[in-house]
Amino acid sequence: MLLGLSGCGTQASSNGEPLVGLVIKTQDNPFYVKMTEGAEDEAKNLGFNLQVASGDGQSDVDSQIKAIENFTAQGAKAILVTPAGDGIIPAVKKAQAAGIVVFAMDSPLGSESGIDGTFATDNQLAGQLVGEWAKAALGDTEPRIATLDLSTDQIPVDVARNQGFLEGFGIDTGDPTKMWDESDPRLIGHEVTDANEAGGRTGMEKLLQKDPTINLVYTINEPTAAGAYQAVTAAGLEGQITIVSVDGGCPGVMNVQEGIIAATSMQFPLEMSKQALQAVKAYLDDGSKPANSDGLDFTNTGVTLVTDQPQDGVESEDTAFGLEQCWG
């Protein structure tokens, strides 16, 4: 899966352009494909020699370590990585010790990582926005809430979106670093889905079997939401159930337009790679490091609520905007 990495330490650059390594998680997700495209464009603008390596899945730490080691050996000036897990921290530290600046994108590393900067979606805020929207949209209806999450592993992005949603809706989240420890009776249940259509459908079927009065469903991403909708229509409950989601992929935004998903929080992978490369440029020019966004330990690359049913007091854009800005 490693693209064009031979690991020989002599080819520092082509045409004297500084080598920048980009390490993504996986190529089977348009999010990372789009991020790579954005990086390639921006690298051309800034005069970098960008090389890309990919892991083989959301948590393939091993391939990422190898890629970071290879870029280090090749004499890269900077490495951008979308961390598959904290397991890459030792490799990151070795790269930094060799004088390379390393930025994380998409997901933050653990707080002790010593990474030079992070460019990510505020996933907590992404969840919170759809939570606030759902609260307003439901109005006086007694909420019966279910969540379709990613996995049982309490992965940071999974936790941040889920807890953000509950907080946005006004539900006490208990320990905000843990999903499913809430005791609010309005929460009916949760299922894990692997964040794809098949998991979303089966999970939703199980939840409806448990309690057919559910009227609000939060989903970890839009493919999960699309699967959940299939279960909802099969049960004939389209009018009863509101589905909200997070991501901003083009198929997802189209589903918002169709009314399959009521609202989704869009993230901006192009911005992540663009801003990260500009930060590389700034660092190479004068040694300055990127500043974190207010109240966060990373640079927030933005999140926007997309819906065709705007609610008072909740800022949102419509699907026309969404289809222009969506990725993948």
Instruction: List residues near another protein by CB under 8 A.
Output: 27-30, 33, 152, 180, 191-192, 194, 196-202, 205-206, 209-210, 223, 226-227, 229-230, 234, 249-252, 254-255, 258, 260, 328
10 Å Cβ neighbour count for 22?
28
Q: Minimum distance between the CB of residue 312 and another protein, rounded to whole angstroms?
A: 29
Q: Minimum distance between the CB of residue 104 and another protein, rounded to whole angstroms?
A: 22
Cα separation, 263 vs 267, in Å, equals 13
User: Locate tokens 């990260």: which residue?
Assistant: 276
CB 160 within 8 A of CB 127: yes
Q: Minimum distance between the CB of residue 200 and another protein, rounded to whole angstroms?
A: 8
User: Locate tokens 């045409």: which residue?
Assistant: 15
| Residue type at position 99 | G
User: Locate tokens 């320990």: which residue?
Assistant: 175
Tokens, residue 202: 């089966």
Q: Minimum distance between the CB of residue 192 and another protein, rounded to whole angstroms?
A: 5
- Which CB atom, from 96 or from 230, has the smaller least distance to another protein? 230
- Which CB atom, from 228 or from 277, has the smaller least distance to another protein? 228
- Which CB atom, from 12 or from 250, has the smaller least distance to another protein? 250
Q: Minimum distance between the CB of residue 235 and another protein, rounded to whole angstroms?
A: 8
Cα separation, 217 vs 158, in Å, equals 15
Cα separation, 146 vs 149, in Å, equals 10
- Which CB atom, from 85 or from 252, has the smaller least distance to another protein? 252
Rounded alpha-carbon distances, angstroms, from residue 17 to 13, 20, 45, 121: 6, 9, 12, 30
- Which CB atom, from 133 or from 229, has the smaller least distance to another protein? 229
The candidate with the shortest Cα–Cα distance to 132, out of 178, 89, 169, 93, is 169
Q: Minimum distance between the CB of residue 231 and another protein, rounded to whole angstroms?
A: 9
- Which CB atom, from 196 or from 278, has the smaller least distance to another protein? 196
